[in-house]
């Protein structure tokens, strides 16, 4: 299966999107994660605003409003946009991930370059039965993370990657 789609003759090839979306429960997870983060941020901002001298607080107010507006957008828009853009795929030859909400990041790594496969399940992720699979490769760009997979899917992907990469000769460098 090719990850490059042919286009019109005058254009170069276009990288297609990976085949699989993240689990739909990821939207609720991202909303909750952003709410927790925003609550902490707002608490710190209010504490700073409360304890600084009045003259300084007058200058910090507009900055705080901008930060708070961004937090509201992050809670209201980011999870839905991220869900539409975040995809993943593992084929017999490569790992392919796409993520982002303000910018788009696409990463592809051949299985022959995979060094380790890790699964992460934080407390909020466990609440929604989600997991991240991190695939570390022999690349300066860093690992590829397949985010917000159902825990059963993440376990199967991890087992399959471990099986396939265990059969690869060499040290993945």
Indicate the average pLDDT of the chain.
86
State the average pLDDT over residues 7-24. 76
More confident residue, 133 or 45: 133
**pLDDT tier at 50, thresholds 50, 70, 90:** confident
Q: Pick from 162, 125, 121: which is nearest to 25 by CA?
A: 125
More confident residue, 167 or 74: 74
pLDDT digits (tens, 9 = 90+) for 141-163: 889 999 999 999 999 999 999 88
pLDDT digits (tens, 9 = 90+) for 70-127: 999 999 999 999 999 999 999 988 999 999 888 888 999 998 889 999 999 999 999 9
Which pTM was predicted?
A: 0.82
* Cβ–Cβ < 8 Å for 128, 25: yes
* Segment 50-54 long-range contacts (CB within 8 Å, at least 24 positions apart): none
């Amino acid at each position: 299966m090719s990850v490059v789609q042919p286009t019109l003759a005058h254009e170069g090839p276009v990288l297609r999107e990976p085949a699989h979306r993240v689990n739909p429960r990821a939207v609720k997870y991202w909303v909750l994660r952003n709410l927790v983060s925003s609550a902490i941020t707002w608490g710190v901002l209010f504490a700073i605003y409360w304890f600084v001298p009045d003259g300084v607080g007058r200058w910090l107010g507009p900055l705080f409003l901008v930060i708070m507006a961004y937090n509201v957008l992050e809670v209201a828009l980011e999870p839905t946009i991220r869900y539409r853009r975040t995809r993943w795929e593992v084929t017999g030859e490569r790992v392919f991930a796409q993520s982002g909400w303000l910018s788009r990041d696409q990463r592809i790594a051949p299985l022959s370059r995979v060094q380790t496969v890790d699964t992460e399940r934080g407390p909020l992720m466990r609440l929604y039965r989600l997991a991240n699979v991190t695939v570390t490769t022999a690349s300066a760009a860093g690992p590829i993370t397949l985010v917000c997979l159902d825990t059963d899917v993440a376990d199967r992907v991890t087992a399959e990657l471990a099986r396939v990469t265990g059969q690869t000769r060499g040290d993945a460098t």
